[in-house]
Amino acid sequence: MRRRTPLGLFTPALIGVAFLGIPLVAVVAKAPWSDVPGLLWSSDARTALRLSLECSGGALLLSLLIGVPLAWVLARVDFPGKSVLRSLIMVPLVLPPVVGGVALLLAFGRHGLLPLHIAFTTWAAIAAEAFVALPFLVLAVEGALLSLEPQYEEVAATLGHGAFATFRRVTVPLIAPALAAGSALAWARALGEFGATVTFAGSLPGTTQTLPSDIYLELETNPNKAIALSVLLLFVSVLVLFALRGRWRVSR
Amino acid sequence: MTVLDVDVTGQRGEFTVRAQLSAAAGEVIALVGPNGAGKSTLLRLVAGLVPAQGCVRIDGTDMTAQPPERRPVGWVPQQSALFPHLTAVDNVAFGIGGRRARSHSLDWLERLGIAELATRKPAQLPGGQAQKVALARALARQPRVLLLDEPLAALDAVGRTDVRRTLRAHLSAFDGVTIAVTHDAVDVATIADRIVAVDSGHVVQDDSVAEAMRRPRTRWLASMLGSNACHGHVRDRGIDVDGGGRLVASDLPPAEDAEVLVVFAPQAVTLHSRPPEGSARNAWRVVVRDLVDAGGRVRVDADGAPSVVAEVTPAAVAELGLHEGALVWVSVKATELTVVPL
């Protein structure tokens, strides 16, 4: 027998859908559609877009370079304090991004623990974005490594391949779907990063002013342009979600 | 010439395996034993996939400290483990370096009769063919030791016959040592020259196939090879069976109180509805527990002191009115019993 959906659950659920859906609809509904192409094509919008793509691409590259080996170590090597390290890597997921920016400033800023003199440069924007994007990639890749049958890597060893060759020729191809999904999520997170970036890198047009900080500043002076840029980012987010189609799971 | 010489102790989880084994060129060893006896772990110790204490020598060279990639060992795990992202020929070529890897791999697929499947991905290969590709992949590196972990277990009856034929052909031509884990008496009889039986991480028997079939030293091995076996002690020119019953055998070891395993074939067991008369000196009452079809014959499992497995014709089943729970007499001639001193 099918039971009727109780109203006490149905109503809040419907409110939830409206709460999530209406803002998205509003961006689309309120967009000055006739002006959108012109607004997006303006030179400073193009600069912000190009910078955003460069920074998020750089952040993804950095995340891959350090995140994949990190995930491999977490999945394959036993050492004391591993669970602590894993929690540490997950911190940026829950840390307020602005706090992340402050932390980066205190670590790598001019008077930081390890002064790299990159604060308020494009490198700082890349670092800030990688800081928040990294956990997404590590989670996806580690989950895939843990669920991978160890036999494939063992067979590769008996076929004469050392650990690194095995990783490159067997492990990476086998986890490719998870690697792609993790990359898409990490990239999307980097593209939308705002709090850590403005704190650590500032918002200098052409150097560190990415789309989100551009939107934030334009909202005061040129709201139509802010909305047009928001439509663009919303579109990109939906595209990423569509490409993933629920493939991403944090599996242990 | 000794190819493989192993004397190792290895740990896998909580479980310790300790084994001593040596094998000459061309030998095919069937590694048998109950589940969890340490068979797969022993293969992993030889391959270097599990850290070992002791000594693993191949062609006289100490390999104990070498990682798997430096050992001349081929390993085919239970589920063949072909790389799913590579075609059959690329799977084989994976283990061979150099420019001629691909043509060399095609030669190997050709030799195993599966050249037409070269460009297929593993997901498109039937189980038996996948197993042959895995075998080609291991053999193409020309290992000195070939380790097969239940090579036929995952296959259906047709694939099993097919792969067994391939194995027999190629293992007899292989001049290294083969160790094949199996649970199948037919595999043992058709492929192997030697049986190494392990239990609880130890080698409990190491004999030629013929000798192990005649004189198995554990009940597990006897029943795997299709025989009845019971433990007992020699007392007063007969054998007191542990758990009750007494058997008389023609070939009795002299030592009184010696611990023995009494072995006899299911075909040697005769069933009677009344106490038997005549020359059979061993006769006792049993209760039929189960009747199983065994390809035209009927296997009768019966509880008693000792419990037995008999093999009879369906006609005999009907004649005796056998059914689960039936009370019958069994008899075995004294000349049919093999007494193995332990």
**pLDDT of B26-76, one tens digit each?**
999 999 999 989 999 999 999 999 999 999 999 999 999 999 999 999 999
Under-50 pLDDT residues of chain A: 249-252
Q: Would you give the DSSP letter of residue B83?
A: -
Q: Tens digits of per-residue pLDDT, B164-208?
A: 999 999 998 899 999 999 988 888 988 999 999 999 999 999 999
3-state SS class at A7: helix
Burial per residue of A96-127, b for 16 or more beta-carbon CB atoms within 10 angstroms, e otherwise:
ebeebbbbbbeebbeebeeeeebbbbbbbbbb
Q: Is residue B269 helix, strand or coil?
A: coil
Across B191-214, b (16+ Cβ under 10 Å) vs e yields: bbbbbbbbbebebbbbbebeebbe
Whether residue A162 and residue B67 make contact (CB cut-off 8 A), yes or no, is yes
Q: Give the Cα separation of A231 and A226 in Å (integer).
A: 9
Interface contact A154-B68, CB threshold 8 A: yes
A158 contact residues in B (CB cutoff 8 A)? 47-49, 68-69, 71, 73-75, 138
How far is residue A34's CA from residue B136's CA, in Å, rounded to a whole number? 65
- The pLDDT assigned to A27 comes to 92
**Nearest-10 crossing angle of helices A211-221, A43-76:** 140
Interchain proximity A158–B74, CB inside 8 Å: yes
| A35 at interface of B, judged by CB pairs closer than 8 A | no
The residue of chain B with its CA nearest to that of A155 is B75
- The pairing of beta strand B228-235 with beta strand B238-241: antiparallel
Nearest CA in chain B to A169: B94
- Angle made by CA atoms A85, A89, A92, in degrees to the nearest 5: 145
DSSP assignment string, A128-178: HHHHHHHHHHHHHHHHHHHHS-HHHHHHHHHTT--HHHHIIIIIHHHTHHH
Size of interface A-B (CB pairs under 8 A): 55
Q: Determine the pLDDT at residue A246.
A: 60
State residue A250's pLDDT score: 42
**Closest chain A residue to the Cα of B145, Cα to Cα:** A158
**CA-based nearest residue in chain A for residue B76:** A155
CB contact under 8 A, A174 and B85: yes
Residue B137 near chain A (CB below 8 Å): yes
Query: Chain A: nearest CA to B86, how far in angstroms?
Result: 9
Query: What count of other Cβ atoms lies within 10 Å of the Cβ of residue A158?
Result: 26
Interface touch B47/A170, C-beta < 8 Å: no
From chain B, the residues in CB contact with A159 under 8 A are 69, 94-95, 137, 141
For range B210-219, the mean pLDDT: 92
- The answer to whether the Cβ–Cβ distance between A170 and B83 falls below 8 Å is yes
Nearest CA in chain B to A157: B69
pLDDT digits (tens, 9 = 90+) for B281-295: 799 999 999 999 988
Backbone φ and ψ of B26, nearest 5°? 85, -10
Note the pLDDT of residue B279.
61
B73/A158 touch (CB, cutoff 8 Å), yes or no = yes
Q: Which residues of A touch B49 (CB under 8 A)?
A: 154, 157-158
Q: Which residues pair with B271 in a beta bridge?
A: B330
State whether A162 and B73 contact (CB < 8 Å). no
Please list every residue in chain B whose beta carbon sits closer than 8 Å to the beta carbon of residue A155.
75, 77, 81, 83
Which of A152, A160, A176 is opposite residue B83, by nearest beta carbon?
A152
Q: Where are the beta strands (DSSP E) in chain A?
A: none
**SS3 category, A99:** helix
ipTM of the complex as predicted = 0.86
First to last CA, chain A: 36
| Residue in A152, A154, A176 nearest the CB of B49 | A154
Chain A from 138 to 167: CB within 8 A of any B CB: 149, 151-152, 154-162
In degrees, rounded to 5, the angle at the alpha carbon of residue B330 between the alpha carbons of residues B325 and B331 is 175
The mean of the pLDDT values for chain B is 92
Q: Which helix (H) or strand (E) holds B15?
A: strand B15-24
> For residue B133, which of B182, B177, B172, B84 has the smallest C-alpha distance?
B84
